[in-house]
Amino acid sequence: MIFRSKAPLRISFAGGGTEVEPYLSERGGVVLSTSIDKYAYASLRFRDDRQITVTSLDYDVVAKYDLDQPLTYDGQLDLVKAAIRRLNPQDSGQGLDVFLHSDAPPGSGLGSSSTVVVALIGLFKQWLHLPLTHYEIADLAYQIERVDLGIKGGKQDQYAATFGGFNYIEFDRDATIVNPLRVPPDVLNELHYNLLLCYTGKTRLSARIIDTQVEGYVRREEEVLRAMDELKRIATALKDALLQGRLNDFGALLHQAWMNKKKMAAQISNPGIDQLYETARKHGALGGKISGAGGGGYMFFYCPFERKHVVAEQLERLGARVVDFNFDLHGLMTWEVR
């Protein structure tokens, strides 16, 4: 018997950073995002001995653990170890082979690390028949990553990967509310037709950027506070524009979101990212932004269809790589192979 799972990566249109503590608890966060057809995959099969082996197919890394020994965090595949400790499959006494693979590397800005954790939870849920709701899966993924391992970051990625589709997500101290958006099919098709996703060629360490953003908020820097509050307003305006099919307004609001996001921390952008953004705008993009904390990874742009190919050509001349994608409307999926 083999168990498998996959969870989608996401692009965040606006509000990212407002779901990071302590802003989340003190002022409440809002994020508008969608999952895309790039995934983190996990597979599990049984062994005849009392070992757990974890293989990262992306990095050709294999780690082995004995069921009779405690799992310790040492910087090697700690996300997997934390998931195993939380879900406690060691109690089954069953040796396991776990295989991981992702369509995007950590630091890409598509929420890949959190998505791997969601895929792992889905894997163990399927095997152990755990009665977990989507909300419980997303919260457990957050606890594993942010509490157990102390990895800096927000809450949106875990919910986007678990629920899938277009979501307007509200965060406060006591609850997270995922509002799935019923976007008309013709609007979805037009949005996909006009969106351009590209890889900047560089990954980044989001924790450093998030540290700077949090420090600015804690010091009550006026520009940071104003930008974060404005990003929540823009996320709501983007949601309304999307549901009403006002996609040119959607593109213009993306530009506003990027201008405000850059004010949250100096490392969010850099000369290379600025050049890509300014070139895209010069050649017809209405707006766009980095997906994720910033500093590198993936960018996306809203371009009128007659300018999209021109923008793509100009970005590739600067070294970016245009990536085909579509929207994912399913979220976490698990299955068995007999």
CA angle 26, 294, 13 (to 5 degrees): 70
Question: What is the rounded distance in angstroms from the CA atom of residue 9 to the CA atom of residue 104?
Answer: 8
Q: Could you tell me the pTM of the whole model? A: 0.93
9 three-state secondary structure? strand
Kind plus residue range of the DSSP H or E element containing 3:
strand 2-14
Residue 206: predicted pLDDT: 63
Domains in the chain, ordered, with CATH? 2-182+328-337 (3.30.230.10), 185-323 (3.30.70.890)
CA distances from 211 to 3, 72, 91, 208, 264 (A): 37, 26, 37, 5, 11
- Residue 105 is predicted with a pLDDT of 75
Q: Is 157 a catalytic residue?
A: yes
Q: Active site residue: 60, 74, 91, 157, which one? A: 157
- Residue 281 and residue 304 in contact, taking contact as beta carbons nearer than 8 Å: no
What averages of pLDDT result for each successive group of 10 residues across the chain (338 residues)?
A: 96 94 94 97 92 85 83 84 82 85 82 93 94 97 94 93 98 96 97 95 69 88 94 98 98 96 87 94 96 81 96 96 95 95
pLDDT computed for residue 279 by the predictor: 97
